[in-house]
Amino acid sequence: MRATELVRLALSRLGSSRLRAALTMLGVIIGVASVVSLVAVGQGATSGITKQLQGLGTNLLTVNPGATTTGFTRGAAGSANTLTIEDAQAIAALDGVAAVEPEISTSQFVVAGTENTTTSIIGTTSGYTTVRNFDVWQGATLNQAAVDARLHEAVLGATTADDLGLTASSIGSTITIGGLPFRVVGILQAKGSTGPVSQDDQILVPYTTVQDEFVPGDKLRTIGISVASAGQIDTVKAEITTLLETRHDIAIGGTDDFTIADQAQLLTTVGGVSDLLTLLLAGIASISLLVGGIGIMNIMLVSVRERTREIGIRKAVGARGRDILAQFLVEALVLSVLGGIFGIILGVAVSYLIGSLAGWGFVFSPVTPLVAVLFSLLVGVVFGVWPARQAARLDPIVALRYE
């Protein structure tokens, strides 16, 4: 028998007992919907976290001073301040390094007109916005000339500008940082929050100026490096290690006085964890799909029983065992696939809702519904085949005599 005939037969049968069909499908609908929405939630959370991490900078490496050993006591990272601007310049000259920015930081009281705030002041260079992945909203970022001339110029984070009541028209106005006048040359585009510390609440000024006014000496707190491509991260990391060990006279096998943190490593770790979480959610949701499948099997077994006489009649008028098998199997498949389709619609709606409530937006991967449909097809076959075989094997004489 052709597939269209079988589907027509199944649909007309299901149409004649709609409530039962709907209730049977409900199991599959709930199962598929929970698989689809929980996977979407997992993927949404993953991509949300990944996006936030990537927001910190693309292919970012950060070098921090640290890990000196005094006697047998290993100092906390940062306890020995050994990084200098020359280190940063030497790193900038390495192959595969796209941009470098040195950082010195301090916290200062800032006043603009009648508004004031206390925020962190980052002494850096024009490289900062590139490495840390910031866009300029108004005005310009720091430039090399300002760094060289040790100018009192400031670029404000979006939140800081907001706190100080500064807008687009405030470019060129003067604010005071730690009691000293600075000219506002730019305001950065807001990034949104990344964890407890907002990247939007800070002021960038030339590092030379910070050294002059707030943090005497030539030591850096951090060097941020943007690697040209993700594939080069490991090589560049090794190059920096060799370079800094040479520059800091650290013997082979000795303890480094700096540490290099790798954004990609963090991303992989976090990605791995949340993938596992997604898998776990999908696994839990599959259990409800399994229960839905058992519901189908149950109904199909009841149906074979109820329709024993029908099976006998069909066999008497020429149906072969395989025709009966196909009829009942297709009925189970139609139930499970229709349930699957409704389940996907419901699941997508639910994940859209959760996505917009949680704020990571709606992540729709076409693979999930595809897998869900295939899975519900499988459920239909697995749980439909046994009842269908029972139907196909009925002896027509016994079936015809069945009351």
Least distance (Å) between residue 320 CB and other proteins: 4
**Residues in contact with 125: Cβ distance below 8 Å, sequence separation at least 6, in sequence order:** 101, 102, 142, 144, 147, 206, 207
Rank residues 71 and 318 by Cβ distance to other proteins and give the closer one. 318
Which of residues 86 and 395 has its CB atom nearest to other proteins in the complex?
A: 395
10 Å Cβ neighbour count for 162?
Answer: 17
Give DSSP secondary structure letters for 221-237: SEEEEEESSGGGHHHHH
**Amino acid occupying residue 216:** P
Q: Considering beta carbons, is residue 4 or 169 the nearer one to other proteins?
A: 4
Binding mask 283-322 for other proteins (x = CB under 8 A): --------------------------xx-xxxxxxxxxxx
Q: How far is CA 46 from the centre of its chain?
A: 3
Q: Is 50 exposed, middle or buried (0-12, 13-18, 19+ CB in 10 A)?
A: middle
Smallest separation (angstroms) from other proteins to the CB of 18: 13
Q: Is 14 in the site for other proteins (CB under 8 A)?
A: no
* Minimum distance from residue 16 beta carbon to other proteins (Å): 5
**Using N-to-C axis directions, what is the helix angle for 233-247 and 85-92, rounded to 10°?**
140
Binding mask 316-355 for other proteins (x = CB under 8 A): xxxxxxxx--------------------------------
CA pair distance 215, 107, nearest whole angstrom: 10
The CB-of-380 to other proteins minimum distance in angstroms stands at 22
User: Bridge-partner residues for 107, per DSSP?
Assistant: 120
The least distance separating other proteins from the CB of residue 25, rounded to whole angstroms, comes to 20
Instruction: Check if the beta carbon of residue 128 is closer than 8 Å to that of residue 141.
Output: yes
Rg, the chain, Cα only: 33
Contact region for other proteins (CB under 8 A) — 2-10, 22-30, 241-249, 373-381?
2-10
Nearer to other proteins, 56 or 388 (CB): 388
Q: Which is nearer to other proteins, 5 or 86 (CB)?
A: 5
Instruction: Using the minimum distance from each CB to other proteins, give the nearer residue, 51 or 320.
Output: 320
Q: Return the residues of window 105-124 that contact other proteins according to CB under 8 A.
A: none
| Nearest distance, CB of residue 36 and other proteins, angstroms | 35
The residue among 1 and 238 lying less far from other proteins, judged by its C-beta, is 1
CB of 337 to other proteins, least distance (A): 22
CB of 6 to other proteins, least distance (A): 10
7 binds other proteins (CB under 8 A): no
Q: Report the distance separating Cα 157 and Cα 198, nearest Å.
A: 10
Structure tokens at 105: 């930081």
Cβ-defined contacts of 141-144 (< 8 Å, 24+):
141/185, 141/186, 141/188, 141/204, 142/185, 142/186, 142/204, 142/205, 142/206
Site for other proteins in 373-402 (CB under 8 A): 396-397, 400
Min CB(388)–other proteins separation in Å: 16
Residue 16 found at the interface with other proteins (CB under 8 A)? yes
Nearest approach, Cβ of 381 to other proteins (angstroms)? 22
Q: How far is CA 207 from CA 84, 225, 278, 403, in A?
A: 11, 16, 44, 94
- The count of residues in the chain is 403
Give the span between the Cα atoms of 204 and 101, in whole angstroms. Answer: 12
Size of the site for other proteins (CB under 8 A): 22
Name beta bridge partners: 227.
97
For other proteins, give the closer residue by CB, 132 or 314: 314
Comparing CB distances to other proteins, the nearer of 20 and 309 is: 309
Q: How far apart, in whole angstroms, are the C-alpha atoms of residue 368 and residue 351?
A: 12
Query: 100 by DSSP, 3-state: which?
Result: strand
Kindly tell me which of 55 and 396 has the beta carbon lying closer to other proteins. 396
Site residues, other proteins (CB under 8 A): 1-2, 5, 8, 16, 309-310, 312-323, 396-397, 400
